[in-house]
Amino acid sequence: MVDGVSFDVWGTIFGDAFFSEIEEHYTEYTGTSRTEIAQSMQRAYEVLREKRKEGAIGKGIDPVAYSLELLEPFGVDVDAFKNAMAAALISIEVEKLLMPGMREAIEELYKDHALVILGNVVYWPGAYTRALISKAGLSKFFRAQLYSDEIGCAKPSREAFSKALSLLGITDPRRAAHVGDNFYEDFCGAIGSNFHAVMLTRDITQTTVIGGNAFVRDASQLPLTIRGLRGQGQSAPLSANAGTH
């Protein structure tokens, strides 16, 4: 049985609208095409992801400053990029932020679970994401929000998940689940910390539960799936139409 749930933010609670908003403002400031800045952001993120896997971003390294430095080799004007992020924070429309069905899923899970956010940062500080969570009207559902630049560690580390567990008010990680969209940072990180892992992915046709962990296609299926999770190898069956479209 799951008593508490931690959530990733980007690609899980929020889609890519904020990234698009940054691209739009950056284009206004620099004249760079949106395609060019989008490609630069993606390439720098891929480098950052590999650096995380290598353990190159350790304690004492500011992950925001580090990720911004990675943009420079791809021709990005970092100062203009910072201005674009600040402008996007103000201009983004709330209805564009949320992934389909996510607000309803969070509201439903909030009825009988403790909830926290556990997110890594890229390009902007956790304070920006915290502001967007507030702008979307979601802050009240979460006991705490943990961002890697604020807590000094990042997913998939056990330290990050341990901090989330503590703030969920749970001592046994087998009574916690983590929801995210990144296989390495979220899914593997959760399993490595003995959480139930729930991965949101469009690469499946229906919700699949394996050994106390789950792959979910649609946010609307999160409450049913999480309430059905049991200990390893004791997963409760889902309804026949769970996760289908």
In the chain the domains, ranked by start, together with CATH numbers, are 4-15+97-228 (3.40.50.1000), 17-94 (1.10.150)
Q: Under 8 Å CB-to-CB from 98, ≥6 apart: which residues? A: 13, 14, 15, 136
**Among 102, 98, 140, residue whose Cα is nearest residue 221:** 102
**pTM, to two decimals:** 0.91
- Interstrand relation of 4-7 and 213-216 (parallel, antiparallel or unpaired): unpaired
**Residue 27 is encoded by which pair of tokens?**
């284009």
Q: Under 8 Å CB-to-CB from 172, ≥6 apart: which residues? A: none
Q: What is the pLDDT along the chain (245 residues), one digit of tens a residue?
A: 999 999 999 999 999 999 999 999 999 999 999 999 999 999 999 999 888 888 777 778 899 999 999 999 999 999 999 999 999 999 999 999 999 999 999 999 999 999 999 999 999 999 999 999 999 999 999 999 999 999 999 999 999 999 999 999 999 999 999 999 999 999 999 999 999 999 999 999 999 999 999 999 999 999 999 999 975 433 333 333 333 32
Separation CA 127–CA 141 (nearest Å): 17
Q: How far is CA 4 from CA 19, 22, 42, 113, 162, in A?
A: 29, 33, 32, 5, 13
pLDDT for residue 39: 98
How many CB atoms sit inside 10 A of residue 242's CB? 19
**Residue 148 is encoded by which pair of tokens?**
């890697």
For 171-192, letters b (16+ CB in 10 Å) and e give eebbbbbbbbbbeebbbebbbe
pLDDT for residue 240: 32
